[in-house]
Amino acid sequence: MPMDDARRLERLHVEIIEPPDALARAIAHRIADLVRRRATEGRPCVLGLATGSTPVGVYAELVRMHREEGLTFRGVQTFNLDEYWPMQPDSFHAYHRFMREHLFDLVDLDPAQTHLPPGALPREQLAAACEAYEQAIREAGGIDLQLLGIGKTGHIGFNEPGSSAESRTRVVMLDTVTRRDAAADFFGEQNVPREAITMGVATILAAREILLLATGEHKSAIVRRAVEGEVDHEVAATFLQRHPTVTVYCDGAASSELTRVATPWLVDEVQWTEPLELRAVVWLSLRVGRAILKLTERDYTENHLGSLLARHSDAGVVNGLAFNALGGRIRGRSKLPREHKVICFSPHPDDDVISAGGILRKLHLNGNRIVVAYMTSGNIAVFDHDVRRYIDILERLAVDEHLARRRVDALTVSIRKFLGAKHPGEVDSPEVQDLKRIIREAEAVSGVETLGLRPEDTRFLDLPFYRTGRVKKDPVGPADVAIVRELLEAERPDMLLVAGDLSDPHGTHRLCKDAIDLALAEAYPAGATRPEVWLYRGAWQEWPVTEATWLVPLAQEELRLKIQAIFKHQSQKDSAPFPGQDEREFWQRVEARNKETAALLDRLGLAEYFAMEAYVVA
């Protein structure tokens, strides 16, 4: 699409780069170019920096360039956007610590030239500290380049809905959505600070250049609002439209709701392909509220789809092609594999039943040999009160002399002592981590048994990258890949079920898929026949019917059985530690999601089903 046409809707310049690591490299190289240019000019470089999961890849690339290409940060000053309050700088959750671990301690930045809002000061000193922060930025000559992320409320820094365009560095109350979004990092929303110190909107807009980075489907709606919407005090990112030099960097997922991506026919002539035609017909059907086979020539011409109609000359032809394309994706049990070897990779113990419980049941009934491989222990997602309940059971068994009293007492006393002194977000002791792992393993076995599988059909890989005891995980390494490769070589599967959603709030799904992809590359050299990979999505989204390769119908009884399997994960029921923005329980999300997929096909005029799972064959 010509840029002039995009600009009619896009009020900010947007660059879409795939994959996410290439996006991070592009931003890092822009920063590095500025640092080098300022050094050549003999002028100091002042960078505004952001925290959170989004810029981690950017900092990793800057560190690599420092180590391998001689990029120096001598003479560079940095100012970070924000910090929680109250927050000690050495806390696991402190942005001070985040920056040290991801950038400051890994390059040759002068610590005296790195500035972050002070989260450890008493309240009565905060106003003066905020003014001093503004003064330090002015004395540095202003910020040359400001790196931003974007929150689900559209906040930049911690400028929440209602922030003024004239606001400067100050203390703010955090929005409920923001605190809920941070709950995973703090092991529960109740532990997230209610206040923070942030640069103001005016402080950010004073930077000479601004780069906003957004990745993942969960950012797509707010990216569109920031880029295409009117300036609005309720969405602080829209104020960026008033700045002359802003670039929004997105991956494909974060840009997916931009008009030029979601409905390109509305802004320009398009080169029609079969996938794009199907998207357009489904969009039109839902827009006018008529089934696909009832769409008319007038519907097409009045909704910017005249070129599609001209391509096929007749509305009936276009309708029929789209209708048959969707109908051909429906695969009941009779069309699913039989007597195959299948591995279902589940990032956490419960992703298997949440996302693929229906197809696992059907594959089992079709006589397939199924192995469910749980890639991580999921132990950080178990509440401490569940641990207390289980050690109470152990103690009661010991009292009744079913277990060795001395050994039980040694374990339970140690665990109770640790939990009694534990601070929010503190890493669990090895004994507690082990017990939480065992709890989740037992729940996983019970879940697959509900679907008809046996305990011996499960594998608990416990990949090393996850074993940090914290939400922040290590990078996937050779040891992780070797464990997955060993399973692939032992089972030699015909089919894999793999979590393909990349919007998991704490990134484990993305890392697990990376490990699988690397293991497949090692286990199956070029030219070797690989297993067919079916990607499912997790608890957060479902594949759109226009993207799905296969749609698997579920009868009412099959959905009920799937929900029963989810119920077996009792530590995640009622109130999961990491629920995301959706307050519903996982089973409620699953029920709604699977029913909505079926209902959508019904609205499009296809056969009516009770519920449906969606899969993409990679």
Name all domains of the chain by residue range, CATH numbers in brackets. 3-248 (3.40.50.1360), 264-327 (no CATH), 338-383+421-617 (3.40.50.10320)
Residue positions annotated with a catalytic role: 160
How confident is the model over 262-288, as pLDDT tens digits? 999 999 899 999 999 999 999 999 999
Q: How far is CA 187 from the centre of its chain?
A: 17
Question: Cα–Cα distance between 26 and 16 in angstroms, integer?
Answer: 11
pLDDT(513) > 90: yes
> In the predicted model, what is the mean pLDDT of residues 550-560?
98
pLDDT tens track for 380-406? 999 999 999 999 999 999 988 888 888
Name the token pair of 202.
């005016």
Residue 322 CA: distances (Å) to CA of 310, 580, 595, 605:
16, 35, 22, 11
**pLDDT of amino acid 478:** 97
Q: What is the pLDDT of residue 7?
A: 55
Give the CA distances from residue 492 to residues 35, 187, 366, 486, in Å, rounded to whole numbers and listed in that order: 50, 38, 19, 10
* pLDDT at site 505: 45
User: In terms of C-beta density within 10 A (0-12 exposed, 13-18 middle, 19 or more buried), how is residue 203 classed?
Assistant: buried
- 539 pLDDT more than 70: yes
Q: Residue 207: CB partners within 8 Å, gap ≥ 6? A: 48, 142, 143, 144, 145, 146, 243
Edge-first strand order for the sheet with 611-617 is: 458-460, 369-374, 341-346, 495-499, 532-536, 611-617, 550-554
Burial zone of 354 (CB within 10 Å; 0-12 exposed, 13-18 middle, 19+ buried):
buried
What pLDDT, in 10s, does the model give residues 358-385?
Answer: 999 999 999 999 999 999 999 999 999 9
Tokens 């320009």 sit on residue: 268
Q: Which of 79-83, 394-398, 447-451 has the lowest mean pLDDT?
A: 394-398
Q: Which of these, 604, 88, 559, 3, lies nearest to 329 by C-alpha position?
A: 604
Is 506 a residue whose pLDDT tops 60? no
Checking if the pLDDT of 475 tops 60, the result is yes
Average pLDDT of the chain, as a whole number: 93
| Residue 1 confidence class, pLDDT cut points 50, 70, 90 | very low
Query: Does residue 579 register a pLDDT over 70?
Result: no
How many residues comprise the chain? 618
